[in-house]
Amino acid sequence: MTRPSRRTPAEAARRARMIALSCLCFTFAMVGASFAAVPLYRIFCQVTGYGGTTQRAEMASARVTDQEINVRFDANASPGVPWSFQPNERQVRVRLGETRQISYHVRNTSDRTVTAMATFNVTPDLTGAYFNKIQCFCFNNQTLKPGESVDMPVIFFVDPAIADDVDTQDAHTITLSYTFFPADPPVVNVAAAKPSGS
């Protein structure tokens, strides 16, 4: 029986360096993947409409049909945003491919300036691939002074291809929902937060 040959110190050191380099490359790959995950997921959602993510359009639809669909509007503000927020119209009926403008009314009900940002989605989720926004206030910081109010427009259309998709052709109503979240961290009064006796 032949004995396995022993590695020389130089070979052992080279093997150790290869293992260390492989581990380092793997670590960098995992860190890179974690940073890339969010933008890649966002792109995936925008392309597929997954999770009710709407599409972004630069111009109106080239085709308008006689088929109609209801579009409802929902408005929410998280507890950290002291705003009154509601659509000016609760629902509209639009032809597929028709460009429509609606607006949401928002008012700062507090005695301080508040900055917030809106996120959105549509339901049913699968209709997100066909709901196209040309203009909207989402993902932009909105700042309102105490008591200030403003109308925020949304321009959209529903792609006529929604009627050709077996998964969405029976959808008669789409709900567009916005939620405002605080965009800046709350201001902490350092003097008030300082423990007594220090």
Mean pLDDT of 68-90: 95
Backbone angles phi, psi at 102, to 5 degrees: -130, 180
Q: Which pLDDT band holds residue 139 (cuts at 50, 70, 90)?
A: confident
Structure-token pair, residue 11: 């070979």
| Closest by Cα among 109, 102, 107, 116 to 85 | 107
Bridge partners, 101 (sequence order): 155
Q: Is the pLDDT of residue 70 over 50?
A: yes
> What is the average pLDDT value for the chain, to the nearest integer?
81
* pLDDT for 27: 73
Q: Which of 115, 99, 76 is nearest to 154 (CA)?
A: 99
Phi, psi of 47 (to 5 degrees): -75, -40
Segment among 17-21, 101-105, 149-153 with least mean pLDDT: 17-21
Which residue in this structure is represented by tokens 């403008």?
101
Pairing label, strands 83-87, 55-56: unpaired
Tell me which of 49 and 11 has the higher pLDDT: 11
Per domain, the residue ranges of the chain are 9-48, 55-182
CATH of 55-182, one of 1.10.240.10, 3.50.50.60, 3.40.605.10, 2.60.370.10: 2.60.370.10
Instruction: Give the range with max mean pLDDT: 31-40, 41-50, 52-61, 141-150.
Output: 141-150
Average pLDDT over residues 110-118: 94
Is residue 184 scored above 70 in pLDDT? no
